[in-house]
Structure 1
Amino acid sequence: MSQSIQESDARPADESVPALAAPGSLRELWLVAMPLMISSGSLSLMHVVDRIFLTWVSVDALAASMPAGVFNWTVMSIPFGVAMYTNTFVAQYDGAGRHDRVVASLWQGGVLALLSGLLLLVGVPLAGPIFHAMGHAENVREMEIVYFRTLICGAVPMLLAAVLSSFFSGRGQTRVVMWVHLGSALLNAVLDYVLIFGAGPFPELGIFGAALATVLANVVACAVFGILVWRIARSEGYPLLEQRRVDLPLLGRLVRFGVPNGMQVLVDIGAFCVFVVVVGQLGTNELAATNIALNLNSLAFVPMFGLGTAVMTLVGRRIGQDEPLVAEKSTWSALRVSLFYMAFWAGTYLFLPDLLLMPYAAFARIDSFAEIRPVVVVLLRFVAIYSVFDALAIVFGSAIRGAGDTRFSFWWTLACGWCLLVLPAWWLSRNIPEHGLYGCWGAASVYITAMGVGFCLRFRGGLWKSMRVIESGEEAVPDDLPLP
């Protein structure tokens, strides 16, 4: 593509980001991050509602949902990491003012999401042997298989929704993402109740109904994002259909930077998957207590993903504009917000645990829930301690990945995950089983602390300031292969 075409396609770099905010300011961060935090919080609430309803079904159903859910995230982590990294390409191209490459990135992400989502369906017949090997109680194991098989069938719409949402989040139009995800969470909550317990003409489906509700909500979110991308891209002058092709160099760069990002998600979630499996071998009550503690942790942790996406977006845009110092300023602003937010939740976990546990206890069997309640209270103390370092890991990790530093993220997470979480948790559960649960949670706390410190030091090192995922403005765009 010639330089003249690129210039005619360019626009003011900050057109998509709220114009009233100064670059790098706390206000700019807030305008971009707040909708994404609400959006991620709605997804967190969606999972919390799932677990609350399953608590009312039985402790076995509650215990089964966590290993199956975490394993589902584990196998989806690489394609999901690639899909979400489309956001960085969109942000950097948008910062450089290149409409054509924004939508070209969207098409490449969509191709990868579709292919990888279909490939994941091979996990359906493999679910039985995998969950049998985990060694959990038979009733729990059967529910795990049903829950996982249903969720994995919804991989394609979930991945496509992630790619399509990056068209908005990467350009700073985060309110669109917020409203779609809020609607999806509300729909999921309604479908949860209807399908889990049976309402009207619908039969009682139990844990299968919980997974089916999640899949249907993702299908609707994907469809809505697709319609909005079509309408807004055409109205704002993005050459959506004109870029409908496989761009091999761009696809290769998305794989080159996105796969390490996905691998980082894989080793992070995979480490916690092994952690949950090890805890499950200690007993059903230990697994159920861990499930609730992690579920309540998600109320603080998952909205932070929204802040992380905002940091990636702002850093990506500033890198595209060759303004790394402004990107650095935005990151420090994000850290202040995250520390304040996590301090609030840490206080809640420490001083108001029973308030958080009330919905779980409301319609659960009194005798079974009474056994796990004191254990959950102790586990929430671990959550309170490591929450601050979680903030460091998310903010600084998102910042360096927004510039393109995905390989360090992968290797650091791999080293910490296996050396500080997986191996210690496995050894403690085998050699000190009477203290295995709290030992495992201690290892998780050390792991998250090391992650936060490592990403902080990497960010302060400043290597990310010279990184890019996009080609230079003068570089010619190679020939492409049209999509059918």
Structure 2
Amino acid sequence: MNISIYTKEFKQNLNLALPVMLGQLGHVLVGFVDNVMIGRLGAAQLAAVSLGNTMIFFALLIGLGFSFAITPLVAEADGEGDIVKGRSFFQHGMVMCGVNGILLFLFLIVARPVLYYLDQPAEVVDLAIPYINIVAISMIPMMIFQGLKQFADGLSMTKYAMYATIAANVINVIFNYLLIYGIWFFPRLELEGAAIGTLLSRVFMMVMLYFILKNKSKLKPYFVLMKRSLKKETFKKLLSLGFPTALQMLFEGGIFTASVILAGTIGTNAQAANQIALNLVSMTFMVATGLGVTATIRVANQKGKKDYINLRRIANSIYLQTFLISAVFTVAFILLKSFLPTLYIDDQQVINLAAQLLVVAALFQLSDGLQVAFLGALRGMQDVKVPTIICFVAYWLIGFPISIYFGQEEYYGSAGIWFGLLAGLTVSAILLYIRFNNLTHPKKEKLKKAYETT
């Protein structure tokens, strides 16, 4: 096999993926800074942020999943050279994202009391509730920003969302510092100060990206309001892709959320260690997410051009690139497992627990990165229903039972919880690749007929 047919795509893959990676890493790095700042207040405060973010993360996954439907549809229209079609998907998608933002805000407000029934430390729940109250409001600007971002991604213009994210992150860090500790004339608000910083940064991020995109001459046709009213068929298309994608993200994100809940039943130190490991894993996951978005964009472009030979070749180039990058993270986690937790907290017991989790995290870097890339390519092909079933089986019928069983204190505790994550991600990666291979293998008569009728 001539590997150069794949490696020659690495540069274009990276050009698209890098802004997405940096933008996503920006979000996680702000979480890292939040955790470092809050970790200085104590283990209970760090655990409270972890618990509050589990509910917020759950809501965010739903909104992100629906917004992800915009990218492949806009990218396919771009591949076809059909601006009118792309504009329709963009404007309908923005309405969908705005409504989702309002619904997610209401969901978080109504769902807050659930935290009291999850067998979590009472002091942690009491600290988490005010934090959630403020961050819930930020779901509205966040979803509008996400709609704009997915639209720009679909046109292979991935750098502008990165600019807005980086600028917003600077604002977030500044206000976190001022409001968490009460610097200068600002009040000391601790966790609520971190939440206000998040809200302010998300409003800024939304406004900045809107004006960047609206003022691009290439994009002006997309910002002209449609003459016809909103179409039910277009919303149906967006929802038919967005709903399964949201379920995919919920099934995967849900098992990580469950790990926080399970760790909380063990104790505050276990939950704090879990939060540290999750934050570090999130950074590497966002790198894989960049390549997953690239897979969606490039595969959808090839689908729009009806070039199925290059569709498979380009997707495989992204898989290879993802594997190589993930392998570096595997080695890094193993070598730095005892050092990285010290960046968050100086409690030795928490540090030791987090180091154990990072060993397991190192093992699933490859499968985690690859399953994101496989999902991205399948999304670009607008194949979302079977991958949704795969995600449910892998994470909830295989991974979660393993987490519950081995996560008991008499077995492996926190590390046992993460054994379930390892199992779920690995099974998901294997089954998703089989799905992609079955859909794109050129020797299959069924596929050939599908290509001819597409």
Q: Normalising to structure 2: TM-score of the pair?
A: 0.91
Residue by residue, what CA displacement relative to the aligned partner does 1:12-34 show, whole Å, maximum 9, x if unpaired? xxxxxxxxxx9982222121112
CA distances 1:103-122 after superposition (whole Å, capped 9, x unpaired): 21111111111112212233
1:241 pairs with 2:224: yes
Deviates more, 1:345-354 or 1:89-98: 345-354
Which whole-Å deviations, capped at 9, do the CAs of 1:406-450 have from their partners, x for residues lacking one? 1112111111121122233234445x5452322211111111111
Q: What is the one-letter code of the residue matched to 1:314?
A: R
- Change beyond 3 A, Cα 1:449–1:397: same
Shift of 1:357: 2.9
Counterpart for residue 3 of structure 2:
none
Partner amino acid for 1:146? P
Provide the C-alpha distance between the structure 2 equivalents of 1:237 and 1:131, rounded to a whole number of angstroms.
46
Aligned to 1:447: 424
8 Å CA contact 1:405–1:464 kept in 2: the answer is: no
CA contact (8 A) 1:308 1:394 kept: yes
Residue of structure 2 in register with 1:315 after alignment: 299
- Quote the residue 1:379 is aligned against: 357
* Cα distance in 1, alignment partners of residues 120 and 344 from structure 2: 23
1:37-81, Cα deviation, whole Å (9 max, x unpaired): 122121221111111111111111111222221221212322321
> CA offset at residue 239 of structure 1?
4.5
TM alignment of 1:351-370, pairs within 5 A: 351-361=335-345, 366=346, 369-370=347-348
Q: Do the aligned partners of residues 27 and 83 (structure 1) sit closer, same or farther apart at CA in structure 2, a change above 3 Å counting?
A: same
Which of the residues 447, 456, 462 maps onto 2:433? 456
Distance 1:184 1:309 in 2: 21
After the TM superposition, list the runs of 4 or more consecutive aligned residues in structure 1 that deviate by more than 6 angstroms: 464-467
Counterpart residue identity of residue 407, structure 1: K
Aligned residue among 265, 283, 287 for 1:303: 287
Aligned partners of 1:230 and 1:96: how far apart in 2?
Answer: 22
| Alpha-carbon RMSD | 2.3
**SS at the partner of 1:205?**
coil
State percent identity of aligned pairs.
Answer: 22
Which residue of structure 2 lines up, in the alignment, with residue 405 of structure 1?
Answer: 383
SS where residue 413 of structure 2 aligns? helix
Q: 2:263 corresponds to which letter in structure 1?
A: V
Cα separation, 2, equivalents of 1:464 and 1:256: 25
How many corresponding residue pairs? 441
Structure 1 residue aligned with 2:394: 416
Change (3 A) 1:235 1:392: closer
> d(CA) in 2 for partners of 1:412 and 1:67?
28
Match of 2:124 among 140, 164, 184: 140
1:302-327 CA distances to partner (integer Å, 9 max, x unpaired)? 22211111111111111111112222
Partners of 1:103 and 1:200 lie apart in 2 by 47
- Aligned residues of 2:75 and 2:155 also touching (Cα < 8 A): yes
Change (3 A) 1:332 1:235: closer
Matches for 1:275-286 after TM superposition, within 5 Å: 275-286=259-270
Unpaired runs of 5+ residues, structure 2, are 1-5
The DSSP-based 3-state class of the residue aligned with 1:243 is: coil
Task: List gaps (5 residues or longer) in structure 1.
Answer: 1-21, 474-484
- Higher mean alpha-carbon deviation, 148-157 vs 394-403, is at 148-157
Q: Secondary structure at the match of 1:238?
A: helix
Rounded to whole Å, the distance in 2 between the matches of 1:352 and 1:169 is 34
Deviation readout 1:187-237 (Å, 9 max, x if unpaired): 2221221121122221111111112212211111111111122212x5555
Amino acid paired to 1:215: L
Q: Which amino acid aligns with 2:415?
A: Y
Which residue pairs with 2:412 in the alignment? 435
Q: Which residue of 1 aligns with 2:315?
A: 331
TM-score by length of 1: 0.86
- Distance in 2 separating the partners of 1:163 and 1:370: 43
Contact 2:180–2:189, Cα closer than 8 Å, also in 1: yes
Query: Do the aligned partners of 1:44 and 1:303 also contact (CA within 8 Å) in 2?
Result: no
Letter in 2 for 1:447: G
168 and 97 in structure 1: CA distance in 2 versus 1, 3 angstrom threshold: same
Deviation at 1:354, TM superposition (A): 3.7
Match of 2:30 among 24, 46, 49: 46
* C-alpha distance in 2 between matches for 1:66 and 1:171: 35
- After superposition, give the CA deviation of every residue in 1:152-187 in whole Å (9 maximum; x if it has no partner): 211111111111012321111122122122112222
Q: Deviations over 1:120-163 (max 9, x none)?
A: 23334434420001111111011222222222211111111111
The answer to whether the 8 A contact 1:117-1:156 is kept is yes
Q: CA deviation at 1:353?
A: 2.5
In the aligned structure 1, how far is the partner of 2:222 from the partner of 2:315? 32
